[in-house]
Amino acid sequence: MPELPEAENIGRALKRSICGGTIAKVEVFTPAMRTPLTPLKSAGLEGCRIVDIRRRARYLVAELDDGRGLLMHFGMSGVIRVEPESVPRRKHEHVFIHFTDGKIFRFECTRRFSLLEVHPGCANGAFPAVLDKLGVEPLSEEFSGKLLFEHFKKRSGCVKNALMDNAIVVGIGNIYANETLFECAIDPRRSANAVTLKECCQLADTARKILLRAIECGGTTISDFKNVDGSEGKFVQELKIYGRNGETCPRCSAVIASVRLGGRNSFYCPGCQK
- Beta strand pairing call for 50-56 and 103-109: unpaired
Instruction: Report d(CA 94, CA 80) in Å as an integer.
Output: 11
Which helix H or strand E contains 212, and what residues bound it?
helix 197-216
Q: Provide the terminal-to-terminal Cα distance of the chain, rounded to the nearest Å.
A: 27
Q: Peptide bond preceding 2: is omega within 30 degrees of 0, i.e. cis? A: yes
Q: Greatest CA separation found in the chain?
A: 60
**What angle, 0 to 180 degrees and rounded to 10, lies between the N-to-C axes of helices 197-216 and 4-17?**
40
3 belongs to the catalytic site: yes
Task: Point out the catalytic residue in the list 3, 63, 93, 183.
Answer: 3
46 belongs to the catalytic site: no
With contact defined as beta carbons under 8 Å apart, do 254 and 271 qualify?
A: yes
Instruction: Report d(CA 209, CA 138) in Å as an integer.
Output: 10
Task: Point out the catalytic residue in the list 2, 128, 138, 188.
Answer: 2
> Which residues are marked as active site?
2-3
